[in-house]
Amino acid sequence: MWPGNPVNELTLQNYLRGKYPKENTACEWKEFKNLTHAVSGRKGADIASYLSAIANMAGGHLVIGVQDCSLHIVGVQQLHDYTPENIRQRLLGRCCNLNSEGFCIESFTTSDTGKTVWVFHIPKHRPRLPVYAHDKAWQRLDDALTEMRQERLEAILNEPIDIQDWSAQTVLGATHADLDEQAVDVARQKFAEKHRNASFAEDIQTWDLATFLDKAKLTIQGCITHSALLLVGKREASHFLPTLAQITWKLAGEEQAYEHFGLPFLLTTTQVLHRIRNIDYKLFPQNQLLATEVSKYDTRVILEALHNCIAHQDYQLRSRIMVVERVDRLVFENAGGFYEGEPEDYFSGEHTPSRYRNPWLTQAMVGLNMIDTMGFGISTMTLSQRSRYFPLPDYSKSKENKVVLEIYGNVIDENYTRLLLENQDLPLNTVMLLDRVQKRQPITENAAVLLRKQGLIEGRKPNYYAAAQVARSTGNQSDYIRNRAFNDGYYKDLILDYLRQYGSASRIELVALILDKLSDALDEKQKQNKFRNLLHSMSTRDQSIEKSGSLHKGRWILRSFTDAIP
C-alpha cells in the first residue's frame, strides 16, 4: 500500500493490523486526535517522548490516529499546521540525537470516511547516543513511558562501535602538494625529538618525504589520511575533509573578539596560544615573608588541553573546536563525549585508557610529541594547576556529546589557595575534594567527615567551605576571622599587574578581576565597599593609579602612564 493513494477505511484497517499487529517496545498505537500540543507538549506523553523511547530500544513505529489498545481508526482530526514534512523537521529539532536517516512519516487518508492516519518510522539510536526529548532519555517499561533506567542508559553508552577509524581513512585526490611545507618541517623536528633515543634517530633527517610521512603515521603506504590533513595539511586543503576543521578562539566578557584558525593544526595551536592573554599573580602565604609569583596560565596546560581537543574530537559530528577566554578562566570544548571512563579517573595519572576515538590520529600526535596515550595528559594539567595553587581542571559542564574543560586562571577561594601554599604535602585525593568544596560541588558525607577531622573544611552540608588551617591551629579565633581574606597588598598587586599588562581597565573589568577573590565572609555590599576602598586607596594614598576620561565612563590607568604625557 502506497501512502497518499486512495484507500477505504476497511482496507487501511486491515493493512495496519497486518503491518503493526501488536504494541510493544517497537510499536505504539496512539490516538493523538489533536496535534496542536501533542508534538512537543507534556513530558512523557507527547510524540517526541514516544520517539525517544522507541529509538532508545531497537527503533520501530508510532501509529497515530488510532485507538490505543485496539488499533481502531479514529483519525487525526486537528493537524494544526503540521505536514509529514515539517513535523519531521520539528521533531528532529526536539529530539536530540535522533537519526535523520530512516526517520520518516507515512500519511494515509481514507477515501470513504476522510480519516487521517500517520505512521512514524523511527530508526534505532546510533551507538552510544541515547535519544533525548525534553532533555531526558525515555524508554517503554511495560505499558508506560518512563525516564530511562540507569542500566539501560549504561547499556547504550557502553555499546561496541564497529566502525572504521575515521582518522585513518585515506583521501582520494589528496597528494603531497596539499601538505604545508613548514608544518611538515616542524613535524620532522618534533618526530626527531620524540625518537632521539631510537635506533633510527640518525636516519630521520635523511628520509625522503614519503618515508617520513609513513613512519610518522601521517600517511598509509603513501596515501594522505584525514590525520595528515588535520595536522600538516594546507589551509586550502580543508575541502578534502568532510568536517569543520577549525579552532575558534573567542574572547568573552566586556571586551569581545574572535578568530578562526584552520589547518595545519600542528602550527595553529601555537597561534591560538599567543592569542590568550597571560599575566603574573603574586600570592602571599602567611607562613612566608616573600610572595609566590605564578602566571595566570601554564603554557603547557593550554597546549595539552588544545591537543586533547584535536585528538579526541568526534569529527563526524562536524563541529569546530572552541577556546573561550573569559576573565577568570579558559573554556575548551570539543565534540563527542568523554570516550572512556570519567575525567577524574585520570587526575592521578594511574589510569590508562584502553581505546580511543581516533586511534590513527592519536598515534600520529604521540609521534610528534603533541600528546601521550598513557593517560598522563589530564594528570599533567592537574599537577600544574595544583603546583600553581589554582583550582584543578574542571569537566563538570561536559555533556553526552561534548567535552567541556575549564582551566581557571585565578583564585576562587583564598583559603583553598592558602591550604595548598602552606600544606604542599596534601594528598591529591584530598586536594580534589577541597577543589570540589571551593567550587560548591557536592562531596559525600564520608569525604566531609574526613576533611573535617583534618581541620580542612567548615560549615554545614551542603555549604562547606575551606578552612584556613594554619590560622586555626594557633587557636587565635579573632586572627582567623580577620585573616580569612588576603591583605590589601595582594588585591592591589592584581590590579597593578593587570594595568601593566593591558594598559587600562574599566571599573567592570576590575570588579570581575577582584570581587570573586574577596572573602566569603563578606556579603555583596561589603565586597563592593571593599573594592571601592581599594580603588580610593590606590588613587589617593598610594597615587599608583588614576582615572582617564569622564567620571562614569573613564578607564583606570597607571599614574606613571599619564606622568609621561607632555
DSSP β-bridge partners for residue 295: 280
SS3 227: helix
| Confidence at residue 563, expressed as pLDDT on a 0 to 100 scale | 42
| Confidence at residue 339, expressed as pLDDT on a 0 to 100 scale | 83
| Confidence at residue 425, expressed as pLDDT on a 0 to 100 scale | 85
Nine cell digits for residue 216: 610518522
Ordered alpha helix ranges (H), 315-427: 359-367, 376-387, 414-422
| Confidence at residue 290, expressed as pLDDT on a 0 to 100 scale | 60
Type of residue at 298: D
| Confidence at residue 487, expressed as pLDDT on a 0 to 100 scale | 64
Q: Which residues contact 232 (CB under 8 A, 6 or more apart)?
A: 179, 180, 183, 184, 187, 218, 264, 266
| Confidence at residue 480, expressed as pLDDT on a 0 to 100 scale | 44
Q: Are 179 and 228 in contact (CB under 8 A)?
A: yes
From CA 182, how far away is CA 559, in angstroms rounded?
45
Please state which CATH number belongs to domain 247-408.
3.30.565.60
| Confidence at residue 520, expressed as pLDDT on a 0 to 100 scale | 66
Nine cell digits for residue 22: 501488536
From CA 60, how far away is CA 516, in angstroms rounded?
52
SS3 447: helix
| Confidence at residue 373, expressed as pLDDT on a 0 to 100 scale | 67
| Confidence at residue 561, expressed as pLDDT on a 0 to 100 scale | 43
Which helix (H) or strand (E) segment holds residue 106: the answer is strand 104-109
Please give the backbone phi and psi of residue 372, each rounded to the nearest 5 degrees, phi first: -125, 165
Mean pLDDT by 10 residues, the chain (566 residues): 72 90 88 90 92 92 92 92 91 92 89 94 91 94 86 86 82 95 98 95 96 97 96 96 94 92 98 93 63 86 97 93 96 92 87 88 96 84 93 93 95 89 88 94 91 88 76 41 58 88 88 82 80 88 84 79 38
Angle formed by the axes of helices 445-453 and 428-438, nearest 10°? 110
| Confidence at residue 23, expressed as pLDDT on a 0 to 100 scale | 87
| Confidence at residue 5, expressed as pLDDT on a 0 to 100 scale | 65
| Confidence at residue 285, expressed as pLDDT on a 0 to 100 scale | 63
Q: Are 26 and 58 in contact (CB under 8 A)?
A: yes
Type of residue at 176: H
From CA 188, how far away is CA 215, in angstroms rounded?
10
Residue with cell 600526535: 365
From CA 333, how far away is CA 390, in angstroms rounded?
20
From CA 512, how far away is CA 498, in angstroms rounded?
12
| CATH class, range 488-563 | mainly alpha
From CA 367, how far away is CA 376, in angstroms rounded?
15
Please state which CATH number belongs to domain 9-157.
3.30.950
Domain boundaries, the chain: 9-157, 168-240, 247-408, 414-482, 488-563
3-state secondary structure 32-88: CCECCCCCCCCCCCCHHHHHHHHHCCCCEEEEECECCCCCCECCCCECCCCCHHHHH
User: Can you point out the beta strands (E) in 303-420?
Assistant: 321-325, 329-335, 402-408
SS3 169: coil
| Confidence at residue 394, expressed as pLDDT on a 0 to 100 scale | 97
Sheet holding 329-335, edge to edge: 257-261, 247-251, 321-325, 329-335, 402-408
Q: Which residues contact 511 (CB under 8 A, 6 or more apart)?
A: 531
Ordered alpha helix ranges (H), 100-205: 150-157, 181-194
| Confidence at residue 550, expressed as pLDDT on a 0 to 100 scale | 72
